Structure 1
Amino acid sequence: MSRPTPGPFHAARNGPQPGPRTGAARPAEVRCAVCGTESRQSRFRPVPPEGAPDLDLRPGEPLRGTMASWLQQCPHCGYVAPEIAHAHPAAIEAVGTAPFRALIADATHPPLARRFLAYAYVLEETGALHAAAEATLQAAWAADDARKPDLARAWRGEAVALWRAGPPLDAEQTVRVVDALRRAEAFEDAGTTADQLAATHPPDAVAGVIALEQRLIAMRDAGRHTVASALPPPSRRPHASQTSIARRGTSLWDRIKGFWRRG
């Protein structure tokens, strides 16, 4: 599967990744790989989150509040990526299409959400469906912040569709699908998916989170809940989607535990 150039926003898994420095680097002139226009862009360097992430792995503060810096956008052609100096050949074609132009011009959507949706569209056109799902989920996060619940629900549903259209999902990805469905108020689908995962007798950490999701679904609770709410105090076991799965090697937890510090 084609993947974007590695950077602070690793859409193939779960958003910004830890970097050697914190904050944004000084702006520099960057040439867009699509249209050749030069513009001043900052390369994002994530700050360590102090709070627990949400069940869908949206990071805690202060990283949570830096979404506006996660992607660069060319002011001329609108191309969006973590680093616009790089582009997959299919991405270059995607930027010139009518759907892409309409998407970045849609004033009914919050500007930040449009940026993530534009990136999702480019990723989908390259065939990176799981990466496109991640970017679409992050558009839903932007809609949450903009108090646009209808858009947030719709984009969570679109993210689930992209996840399911891609390669088979493992247990940690399925946990996030369940949470996205619940947050989108697709309670029947969320419940069925949660029950199917529970029936596979997953590891204890996965089973614990799915049990929480099942309780929330039964209560028709579509609200935000954090990883901490899924772990019985004083347990410090990671969220199901962050636990190590030997056959897959490094897990989400291994990648974020170095910069998520729980008090």
Structure 2
Amino acid sequence: MASPSSSTGPSSTGTQAGRPAGGLRCAVCGGESRQPPFRPGPPEQAPDLDLRPGEPLRGTMARWLQQCPHCSYAAPDIGRAHPAAAEAVAAAPFRALITETSHPLLARRFLAWAHVLEETGALHAAAEATLHAAWVADDMNRPDLAASWRLEAVALWRSGPPLDAEQTVRVIDALRRAEAWEDAAATVEGLLASQPPEAVAQVTAVERRLVAARDAGRHTMASALPPPARRPHVAQQRIGRRATGEGLWSWLRQIFGRR
């Protein structure tokens, strides 16, 4: 979910940009609030096939995004924002989204971030945030919402720049989990026909078997890429940066580029 609005870093004065002494200043509305810092630790379990991280990082989703209590802007760091974010936050679709009480509160936070990303042209990052909302729906036992948001994530991925092999694997998993069987099967065959890297082909072969069995359940990366005995699963590399939306695509390349 990398974007200019999600980057952070210390300023020359020793405080972060947008972070006054009394708290964090929202880059959209200027309101101040206390936002607890989040420094994720490494997961100990293998991630799911859609790269949702394993525990203990898996259970920290409520801390992945900050949200301004004044204007409801949500982002990994609300002290930074794309120049067009304020217009997106003020518009009716955003306001309707954050007040949709039929959706879990945490899911609305990820959807709010996804909406801003989409409106500012970061379509692949918006897909990632929408998938995170689906993960929340999974945890809340809302398969209807989870399936809907996975399909929305797929649409966003496909609306953006051309997908590479690693991203296509995530599209396949989202389609499978949403029970879009024909699309999932066609996407599997298209990816395998492109002769992807070995590790991608291994994961795709697992997805092919699951699609053929009409299995819409959760499966972990260990089922495709067994973890070595003496180091963390390869799919856990750089997982902390990915959880907060930084360095996603380079992290994905690491996942599938080594064993």
Instruction: Classify 1:233/1:33 alpha carbon distance in 2 versus 1 (closer, same or farther; 3 Å).
Output: closer
The Cα of 1:36 is off from its aligned counterpart by 1.2
Q: What's the CA shift string for 1:92-139, capped at 9, x where partnerless?
A: 110000110010001000000000000000000100000000000000
Larger mean CA deviation between 157-166 and 33-42 belongs to: 33-42
Task: Confirm or deny that 1:182 pairs with 2:176.
Answer: yes
What is aligned with 1:98?
Answer: 92
Q: Which amino acid aligns with 1:111?
A: L
- Percent of pairs identical after alignment? 69
The Cα of 1:39 is off from its aligned counterpart by 0.8
The Cα of 1:6 is off from its aligned counterpart by 1.7
Instruction: Classify 1:28/1:44 alpha carbon distance in 2 versus 1 (closer, same or farther; 3 Å).
Output: farther
Q: 1:51, 1:61 within 8 Å by CA — same for their partners in 2?
A: yes
The Cα of 1:251 is off from its aligned counterpart by 4.4
Q: What's the CA shift string for 1:14-68, capped at 9, x where partnerless?
A: xxxxxxxxxxxxx961111111111111121111100000011000000000000
CA distance in 2, matches of 1:3, 1:146: 31
What is aligned with 1:31?
Answer: 25
What is aligned with 1:44?
Answer: 38
Q: Would you tell me which structure has more strand in proportion to its own residues?
A: 1
Q: Which amino acid aligns with 1:252?
A: L
Matches within 5 A, 1:213-228: 213-228=207-222
TM-score, with normalisation over the residues of structure 1? 0.82
Q: 1:3, 1:128 within 8 Å by CA — same for their partners in 2?
A: no
Task: Confirm or deny that 1:210 pairs with 2:204.
Answer: yes
Q: Which runs of 5+ in 2 are unaligned?
A: 10-20, 239-248
Task: Confirm or deny that 1:143 pairs with 2:144.
Answer: no
CA distance in 2, matches of 1:102, 1:234: 47
Matches within 5 A, 1:1-263: 3-7=4-8, 29-231=23-225, 238=234, 250-252=250-252, 254=254
Q: Structure with the greater relative contact order (CA < 8 A, sep ≥ 6): 1 or 2?
A: 2
The Cα of 1:145 is off from its aligned counterpart by 0.6
Q: Which amino acid aligns with 1:133?
A: A
CA distance in 2, matches of 1:47, 1:234: 20
Q: RMSD value over aligned CA atoms?
A: 2.6
Q: Which amino acid aligns with 1:130?
A: H
Moved over 6 A (4+): 233-237
CA distance in 1, matches of 2:226, 2:47: 16
